[in-house]
A and B are shown apart, each in its own frame.
Chain A
Amino acid sequence: MKKIIISLSAVLFLLVGCEDTFLDLQDLDSVTEQVYFDEPQNFEDASNYFYRGLHSPKATKGDGFAEITDYGTELNGYVQDYGQGINTATDEDIYWNNAYDYLREVNLLLDKADAYTANGGNAADISKYVATAYFFRAYHHFRLLKRFGGVPIVIEVTNVDSPILFAPRNSRYEVVAQILADLDLAIAGLPATANGADLGKISSIAATAYKARVLLFEGTWEKYVGTATDGDGTNSGAGSTKPSGYPAVDAMFNSVVQAAKAVMDSGQFEIWNKNADPNMENNSYKWLFSIEGADSNPGGYTKASNKEFIIQTIFDYESTNRIGSQFTQINFGRNAPTQVALDMYSTLDGLPINKSTQFQGYAKQSDQFINRDRRMWGNFGELILANGSRQISAIGSVGLSNLSNWKWTTWNNYRSVREEGYNYPHLRYAEVLLTYAEALYERDGSISDADLNLSINLIRARAGIAPLTNTLVTTNNLNMLDEIRRERTVELYMEDNNHWNDIHRWDTAKTLLNDDLIGYVIEGSEYETNTALFNPAIAIYGYKNDYPSGKGPVKALIIDPVSTRIYSQKNYLWPLPINETVINTNLKQNPGW
């Protein structure tokens, strides 16, 4: 009996003694923050994680197609409310949220790096990864800048009690100064090259190329848009406060030229021009974007041949790290060209179509493709008939044009949708050359033939058109700046939102987007006479009678009328997400929203 009493008491006593068995429980399957970041490998792994924040076709954190489709510009048959200027402010904005999520990761690494060196770690062992963090801090602030203008700059590890959470916006100039400072730190700390096993990582020269992009964007924005979108900073917008030592516009252009030239002089990159190979049929541009294995293009070139991509996301079919989304399909279905887009492309003599005798007119849709820049076929040639016109379908369907954008489609259906494994360019050498030419012209008001030959004529050669020269411009009464801009628009079509950004920094969006969207030239074409190809009942928005075509003013079909478009400078910046302005009343909404 006593034994039992003893054993019962023992049970109670045992329980009293083993509180910790039940309460002091450690995490069994994850490494915790306290013990991490004590060796360089940890910093490398953490910096590798940042790369998913690059805006690639593989949608991360919901970041996806809206940007890829350029929001609907004058080049794009897919009408979107952003391009029409009729979107309204939304409660949330993933491009706001995501940027700050990414910034926190970046700032955490920088914070841990300080602790690492403070604890006796060798700063040189982790300098690459720290520099990578600086690059991404600049990258995400720049994305915020492009979308919202001035935003709160976050360069610390935020917590629930950080004052920055309720801070007002920094002006766009303060944000730019921060981006440039971070890029300079990145350039100083990153390795000169990123090849071999490091391909896809940011090198010092890649950060330099990115700096050129930022400076050209902001320099031209300040030159053409100025403070029009800034607001006063007290009632609306982020204001126009400039930090001390902020560069003047010409100094920015000068820095662009220097940065671009440094990239050009590094010798690391070249335009992927395989036109000397007859198998390529002058279509190097077309197949540049889908290089995978030797079967992925008519010339049998593999990824190793590509020295053009400077910042890129690596995909790979074999390791199942494929694009995985319907990127190609969405691009194909939605980014159908407007007539304006088709008319952008020069003829082989290097002239705009309204100046060229090579242009064959509009009688048949296929005539438009004769003697044209190879990029026109590269971007829109998939559906074109050998000799004729495609039927015009009803306005209101997703693709308002009867052609499609096949820029990203693989050769001979090498890969099906979602299976593509080609590398995706965020910044390629062609852009650096275009940036160089544009900045030079913006700085000096002129550009020499030598500089043109160093830069955009390399791109024009791949496109199969005659070089741009000062003689060509003066003889044909062209405008050099317009031709440089045309070259940029055509070359970078549907890449990383390029055109959307361009028409804003050039301040041309308020005119281009506040106009009828033109689908097809009707006058003088088969469409005028053959109702099987074009049923006039389709023309629910009527016609523009003086569309400035390659054959002078003609009647053209409107696919979205100016009456439904209210695009103005207000739309140059996105509205801040409403929830943020409600929670933090120091955040003033952008002007006009």
Chain B
Amino acid sequence: MEGFEVTKGATNDISVLYLKGYLDAHTAPELENALQKLMDEQNYKIVVNFSELNYISSAGLGVFMGFIEDIRKNGGDIKLSSMKPKIFRVFDLLGFPTLYDILDDEEKAVDKFTKS
């Protein structure tokens, strides 16, 4: 069965969420909970690593839309990294690259925080 996992890591003061599997309307609440937990802990600098994500629907993209404004108001950001081409295509179709930083790999996404 197609599942979904989100695990948490950190690099200095930057939280990293690793997504694995299939992100759709059924599994999006798990990501929502993980982001809400980071917000509750006042961790506003977040990198999301998509390297093991195989599928995303608009329900998954919607999670990032719902949180980004609050996170940016608190001086943070969500930077997205390591997407497979088919995942990037969905973000691209909906115009996300103009409003979100989408980086090739996690290191570049972390650097974007430390160098900005």
Partners in one complex: no
Measuring CB to CB, which residues of chain A are less than 8 angstroms from any residue of chain B? none
